[in-house]
Amino acid sequence: MKMSKRKTLGISLYILFVLVPIYWLLNMSFKTNEEILSSLTLWPQHFTLANYEVIFSDPSWYSGYINSMLYVSMNVVITLLVALPAAYAFSRYRFVGDKHLFFWLLTNRMAPPAVFLLPFFQLYSSVGLFDTHIAVALAHCLFNVPLAVWILEGFMSGVPREIDETAYIDGYSFPRFFVRIFLPMIRSGIGVTAFFTFMFSWVELLLARTLTSVEAKPIAAIMTRTVGAAGIDWGVLSAAGALTIIPGLLVIWFVRNHVAKGFALGRV
């Protein structure tokens, strides 16, 4: 009992550490610029929704959210579609070059983005995809697919092989077995993977900014625009920042039980 109290205290302290800067962001988003820059106030003295009004009334702001959501969802779908069969192959079979292929996939997370931006820009321009959502979605696959394969492979290796074999003996074809039996068994893994791909695609800025100009400009890139002549519009910026958290919260809300239930498979 004493132990669990210490644990509760510890976790509460850590969560406090996590939340205080976020509170500060919310706090700023309800303040006027003068108040933000003039003094230290723990809560808004002149509570205002003006910052949010700016965002919801200006299409160049809210379209950023729509663009980001579009390419992020595309990315999650593409990533899961290609990563699921690949992860199955890695977890079940040995084939020529498997380990090296796996490592090569991982190396794609290591490339420093700064210099790769120009080739990326030119590659997607030359195939006519510049400034489309799909271009960003495809580019984000570069770092999300390896991660997805990696996480899914771990989950799939937790499923005993006997299940595959029994299903084949029962006359299931591979696609039917995969969709009807196997996927439901690893759905928590899919949830967790979807969360991670969503997250990394949602927060990435450099590639998304480089590959878009008007039509598909992501919210994070629009935010850098507020660094204008009159200095930074902190209020609007923090309101926009606060809003960027919401879609993520929704996603984590949907997968929370999957993470919480964990790899239920281990207990079967």
> What CA–CA distance (Å, rounded) separates 263 from 241?
33
Q: What is the DSSP secondary structure assignment for residue 30, as one 8-state letter?
A: T
Q: How far is the CB of 59 from other proteins (least distance, A)?
A: 20
In the bound state with other proteins, the residue whose beta carbon lies nearer, of 46 and 262, is 262
Q: How far is the CB of 50 from other proteins (least distance, A)?
A: 18
Q: How far is the CB of 260 from other proteins (least distance, A)?
A: 5
- Position 171, amino acid: G
User: Terminus-to-terminus CA distance in the chain, angstroms?
Assistant: 29
Q: How far is the CB of 156 from other proteins (least distance, A)?
A: 10
Tokens (6 digits) for 31: 């303040």
Q: What is residue 250's three-state secondary structure?
A: helix
**CB-based contact 187:131 (threshold 8 Å):** no
Q: How far is the CB of 169 from other proteins (least distance, A)?
A: 15
> What CA–CA distance (Å, rounded) separates 219 from 70?
11
The number of beta carbons lying within 10 Å of the beta carbon of residue 70 is: 17
> What CA–CA distance (Å, rounded) separates 148 from 82?
9
